């Protein structure tokens, strides 16, 4: 079975495969059908088994108990399987063997092939003097109609020019002559600009002084010249602080900073540092790293002080130019894109020259000069984001202009140890060489294996996979080059498929065997339990087999628990889609129920009660069968890249291999609690207490209808946001919920913490409902109990908090917050609370209704004693019956 997948290799943030999306939606829908059969179909099953109607609530609760309790041990088993797969199964030794430094079919040799094929494609595309290379670049440039398409260079060059223009308009110029520039460099606070760097320089110099070096007080004099703080008179730090707040006396205060920096007579900070440099030989032993820290701090300060950041941005802006400026990048791209001749090589060469530059006047050298001052740009808060916009715009341009070169360079051109020795590998081939050369007992084996994984696929940015996907995105451009597509690009695809398949065979096979295969089996078991349930329901004559029916429901609970856990474990990126499937089931099954009652509701003509449950089970069989088939196909099919032959198809494309990172991110606390509170508290209150005990009876059905529709929207909205925005984008809950944002530049995601309020609302409502039942004379109780509008509104609000918390909690946990590797933990904790609090709620209702309000048992007690009294009674009522007498399933 072969499948051409439009999504990338399964990885963190990849949830775009239509086939897998369908599989997860169907899995969510199929698994929730157990609840349909336990709750909604219960009235009809009650009549089928000839039970008296006054046992309805007991029958429903016992059926639900079978499903809920029996899913707990199987969920625990699924969690254990997930932990074993993530913690106990170590693929590092197998990856070391697969690397095979000297093996002709090892990953090292395959990486060499991958580099060579990428290099051949890169050379062919860059040869714009050749007709084929020129046509590829022409396609990348884009036509007039594609002038605003971000997939083409004309739009990207325009964005780069705009970003450079914005930076140039704000960036400071020459500090020696421009007072405003020096003021901007000074910074707005002690933790900004030159003021922050001066503080760092003082601290470094003071640390060196504390070692008491024999340097003729050079380090002490440097520290004194900088100033202990911003209140130290006539020192650099005070001068910078006063300049930052200067208004009318800007000239004098800027002059004071320049004097403190390089005062005549050798009293300035600059000559004082030169004196420290002259004593370098005195800073030996433990003083050496402290001297290096001083040197680094000075270089950072001096770099910002002397840099003309405005000129660098202006040079880049001028090199890009605007449409209409001859020989500039935007104009040459426009001319190439609009070319209608048969030989675009001349105009393609003009683009190449404008980008690379004949000397140093091209866009690339101008950008490199600007980026060399990155620390200076980032040291000033007022221009940091503008600089980052320029970098992002240039990266986006290069991703289209030269992805072939980016892939080639990321793979690396040599199999050697990193330089300098002991440093981190800079390329994939360096990482593979280190791993392949490691011994079996090498204590750094795990670190070396992780370096390979990070370089190839598991790093957050600049992975080989990401570079390859950039090349893939230019497949249409390569078609313009004839042999570039049929030879060079095809050869690269073949080399990629060979490497990728061998790599993921090592990385993914343990998960495939321990998680994927069992998940396929449980999908089919889910289908099989419905088939057995149908047989049990149909046979047995007029009375039926209630005990066996209950037993099959219990078995389906076991399947439900492990099935759901394994689905979460297989690929947590698709959990938001899975939740959509779960929330589709009320609408789908209610529609089917409506059609069934419409067709067979005439009890004088049909055995309606029997038929309704019969149809429900048949629908469950059909949906679970389709879900099992799609799930199985999704994870046993092979994926083909481009023109790859069947034998070269990859069998691991959909397998998401992800172990514990070993790191805790504080950002996961909020979504973690959302899941626990969202799952854990819902059935303690709903539906028995709210709406059951506070809402007028005639409104309960209407509340159910409102929730039937409303609960569909939270997960669908979240899924739509995930599909609409990139991974880490703060407009999606799968971003990083902190101020820095994903990778430090995607934007703040703090606004998602506003939804933490839903946890407070849900818990508060639960307390209010219980309080209102016990203190009927209170104002709160009188405003809620049997007040149609208020009680209905609060009941709906409570349940929608549950839906919203789950819809946001799971994506927030598995997204850029980095909590996906332990998503099963809050799920299981939430399930434990949900199930046992549901029993607690049942016992509470029984005890509450068994007492006469006129002779209330806690009258006269303190609130704490009253709480303890009810707590003890409810525990006995809730769990004593269940565990001492078993579940009710006898016919009475």
> What pLDDT does residue 661 have?
58
Say whether both 749 and 853 belong to one domain. yes
Say whether both 708 and 817 belong to one domain. yes
pTM above 0.85, yes or no: no
Q: How far apart are CA 214 and CA 364, in angstroms?
A: 47
Q: How far apart are CA 740 and CA 738, in angstroms?
A: 6
Say whether both 619 and 745 belong to one domain. no
Per-residue model confidence as pLDDT tens digits over 799-833: 999 999 999 999 998 887 778 778 889 999 999 99
847 neighbors 857 (Cβ within 8 angstroms): no
**400/34: higher pLDDT:** 400
Residue that is last in its domain, among 591, 625, 659: 659
> What pLDDT does residue 775 have?
85
Residue 258 lies in a domain: yes
Mean pLDDT calculated for residue range 414-428 = 88
Say whether both 515 and 574 belong to one domain. yes
Per-residue model confidence as pLDDT tens digits over 545-590: 777 877 887 888 899 899 999 999 999 889 889 999 888 877 887 7
Residue that is last in its domain, among 267, 286, 307: 307
What's the DSSP call for residue 591? H
Residue 426 lies in a domain: no
Strand, helix or coil at 538?
helix
> What pLDDT does residue 655 have?
86
Q: How far apart are CA 735 and CA 723, in angstroms?
A: 13
Say whether both 745 and 786 belong to one domain. yes
Residue 622 lies in a domain: yes
Q: How far apart are CA 609 and CA 416, in angstroms?
A: 75
Closest to 734 (Cα-Cα) out of 7, 726, 466, 465: 726
The CATH number of whichever domain residue 517 belongs to comes to: 1.20.1250
Residue 552, phi then psi, degrees to nearest 5 = -65, -40
Say whether both 611 and 697 belong to one domain. no
Structurally, the chain folds into a number of domains equal to 3
DSSP 61-80: HHHHHHHHHHHHHHHHHHHH
List % helix, strand, coil for the chain (3-state, nearest 5): 70, 0, 30
Q: How far apart are CA 121 and CA 132, in angstroms?
A: 12
What share of the chain in percent tops pLDDT 90? 51
**817/509: higher pLDDT:** 509
Residue that is last in its domain, among 659, 693, 708: 659
Q: Which of 216-225, 358-367, 483-492 has the lowest mean pLDDT?
A: 358-367
Say whether both 89 and 206 belong to one domain. no
| pLDDT band, very low/low/confident/very high, at 731 (cuts 50, 70, 90) | confident
Q: Which of 276-280, 623-627, 775-779 has the lowest mean pLDDT?
A: 775-779
| pLDDT band, very low/low/confident/very high, at 884 (cuts 50, 70, 90) | very low
What is the chain's mean pLDDT, rounded? 86
Structure tokens at 524: 């089919």
Per-residue model confidence as pLDDT tens digits over 643-697: 445 555 566 778 887 766 556 778 889 999 999 999 999 988 888 888 888 888 7
Q: How far apart are CA 619 and CA 732, in angstroms?
A: 35
Q: CB-based contacts of 277: which residues, under 8 Å, 6+ apart?
A: 295
Say whether both 760 and 877 belong to one domain. yes
Closest to 96 (Cα-Cα) out of 655, 497, 420, 503: 503
Range ranked top by mean pLDDT from 330-334, 594-598, 740-744: 330-334
Per-residue H/E/C for 286-325: HHHHHHHHHHHHHHHHHHHHHCCHHHHHHHHHHHHCCCCC
Range ranked top by mean pLDDT from 11-15, 422-426, 606-610, 780-784: 780-784
What share of the chain in percent tops pLDDT 70? 89
Structure tokens at 782: 């009188």
Residue 536 lies in a domain: yes
Mean pLDDT calculated for residue range 224-232 = 93
Residue 524 lies in a domain: yes
Per-residue model confidence as pLDDT tens digits over 482-501: 899 989 999 999 899 889 88
Residue 105 lies in a domain: no
Structure tokens at 775: 């203190």
Which residues pair with residue 403 across a beta bridge? none
Say whether both 779 and 813 belong to one domain. yes
* Residue position matching structure tokens 């990859």: 650
Q: How far apart are CA 654 and CA 631, in angstroms?
A: 11
Domain range for 63 is 1-96+481-659
Say whether both 735 and 864 belong to one domain. yes
Residue 421 lies in a domain: no
Say whether both 784 and 637 belong to one domain. no
Residue 399 lies in a domain: no
**H/E stretch holding 388:** helix 381-401
Say whether both 800 and 834 belong to one domain. yes
> What pLDDT does residue 400 have?
97
């Amino acid at each position: 079975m072969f499948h051409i997948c439009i999504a990338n290799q399964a990885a963190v943030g990849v949830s775009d495969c239509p086939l897998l999306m369908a599989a997860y939606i169907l899995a969510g829908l199929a698994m929730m059908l157990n609840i349909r059969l336990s709750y909604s179909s219960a009235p009809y099953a009650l009549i089928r088994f000839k039970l008296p109607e006054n046992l309805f609530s007991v029958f429903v609760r016992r059926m639900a108990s079978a499903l809920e309790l029996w899913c707990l041990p199987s969920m625990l088993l699924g969690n254990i399987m997930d932990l074993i797969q993530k913690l106990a199964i170590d693929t590092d030794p197998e990856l070391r063997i697969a690397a095979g430094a000297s093996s002709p079919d090892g990953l090292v040799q395959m990486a060499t092939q991958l580099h060579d094929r990428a290099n051949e494609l890169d050379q062919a595309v860059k040869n714009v003097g050749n007709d084929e290379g020129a046509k590829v670049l022409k396609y990348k440039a884009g036509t007039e109609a594609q002038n605003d398409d971000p997939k083409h260079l004309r739009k990207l060059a325009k964005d780069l020019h705009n970003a450079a223009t914005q930076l140039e308009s704000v960036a400071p110029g020459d500090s020696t002559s421009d007072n405003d520039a020096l003021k901007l460099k000074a910074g707005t606070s002690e933790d900004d600009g030159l003021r922050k760097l001066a503080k760092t320089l003082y601290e470094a110099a003071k640390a060196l002084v504390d070692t008491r070096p024999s340097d003729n007080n050079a380090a002490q004099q440097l520290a004194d010249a900088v100033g202990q703080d911003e209140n130290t008179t006539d020192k650099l730090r005070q001068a910078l602080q006063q300049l930052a707040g200067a208004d009318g006396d800007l000239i004098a205060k800027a002059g004071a900073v320049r004097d403190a920096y390089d005062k005549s007579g050798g009293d300035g900070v600059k000559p004082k540092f030169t004196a420290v440099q002259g004593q370098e030989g005195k800073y030996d032993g433990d003083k050496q790293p402290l001297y290096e820290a001083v040197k680094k701090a000075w270089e950072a300060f001096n770099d910002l002080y002397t840099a003309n950041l405005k000129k660098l941005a202006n040079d880049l802006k001028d090199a890009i130019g605007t449409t209409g400026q001859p020989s500039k990048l935007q104009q040459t791209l426009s001319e190439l894109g609009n070319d209608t001749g048969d030989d675009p090589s001349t105009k393609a060469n003009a683009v190449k020259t404008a980008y690379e530059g004949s000397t140093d006047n091209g866009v690339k050298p101008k950008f490199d000069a600007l980026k060399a001052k990155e620390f200076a740009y980032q040291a000033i808060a007022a221009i940091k984001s503008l600089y980052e916009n320029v970098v992002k715009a240039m990266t986006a341009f290069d991703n289209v202009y030269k992805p072939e070169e980016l892939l080639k360079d990321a793979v690396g051109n040599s199999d050697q140890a990193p330089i300098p020795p002991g440093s981190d590998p800079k390329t994939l081939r360096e990482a593979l060489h280190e791993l392949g050369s490691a011994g079996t007992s090498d204590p750094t084996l795990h670190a070396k294996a992780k370096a390979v994984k990070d370089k190839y696929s598991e790093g957050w940015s600049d992975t080989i996979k990401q570079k390859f996907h950039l090349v893939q995105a230019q497949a249409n451009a390569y078609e313009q080059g004839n042999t570039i597509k049929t030879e060079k690009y095809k050869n690269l695809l073949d080399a990629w498929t060979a490497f990728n398949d061998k790599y993921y065979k090592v990385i993914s096979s343990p998960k495939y065997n321990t998680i994927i295969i069992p998940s396929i089996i449980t999908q089919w078991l889910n289908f099989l339990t419905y088939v057995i349930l149908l047989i049990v329901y149909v046979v047995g004559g007029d009375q039926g087999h209630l005990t066996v029916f209950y037993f099959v429901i219990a078995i389906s609970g076991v399947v439900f628990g492990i099935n759901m856990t394994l689905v979460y474990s297989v690929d947590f990126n698709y959990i938001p889609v899975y939740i959509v499937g779960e929330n589709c089931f009320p609408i789908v099954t209610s529609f089917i129920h409506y059609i069934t009652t419409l067709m067979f509701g005439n009890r004088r003509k049909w055995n309606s009660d029997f038929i309704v449950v019969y149809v429900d089970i048949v629908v469950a069989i059909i949906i679970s069968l389709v879900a099992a088939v799609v799930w199985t196909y999704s994870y046993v099919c092979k994926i083909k890249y481009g023109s790859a032959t069947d034998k070269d198809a990859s069998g691991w494309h959909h397998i998401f291999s992800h172990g514990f990172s070993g790191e805790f991110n504080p950002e996961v606390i909020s979504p973690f609690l959302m899941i626990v509170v969202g799952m854990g508290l819902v059935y303690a209150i709903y539906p028995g207490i709210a709406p059951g005990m506070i809402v007028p009876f005639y409104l309960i059905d209407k509340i159910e209808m409102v929730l039937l529709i409303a609960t569909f929207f939270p997960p669908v909205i979240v899924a739509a946001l995930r599909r609409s925005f990139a991974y880490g984008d703060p407009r999606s809950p799968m971003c990083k919920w902190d101020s820095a944002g994903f990778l430090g530049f995607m934007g703040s995601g703090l606004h998602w913490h506003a939804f933490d309020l839903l946890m407070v609302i849900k818990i508060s409502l639960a307390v209010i409902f219980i309080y209102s039942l016990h203190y009927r004379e209170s104002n709160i109780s009188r405003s809620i109990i049997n007040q149609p509008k208020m009680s209905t509104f609060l009941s709906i609000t409570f349940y929608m908090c549950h839906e919203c918390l789950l819809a946001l909690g799971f994506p927030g946990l598995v997204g850029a917050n980095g909590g996906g590797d332990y998503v099963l933990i809050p799920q299981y904790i939430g399930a434990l609370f949900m199930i046992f609090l549901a029993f607690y709620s049942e016992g509470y209702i029984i005890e509450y209704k068994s007492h006469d309000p006129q002779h209330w048992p806690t009258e006269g007690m303190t609130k704490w004693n009253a709480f303890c009294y009810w707590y003890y009674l409810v525990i006995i009522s809730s769990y004593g019956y269940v565990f001492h007498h078993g579940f009710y399933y006898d016919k009475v």
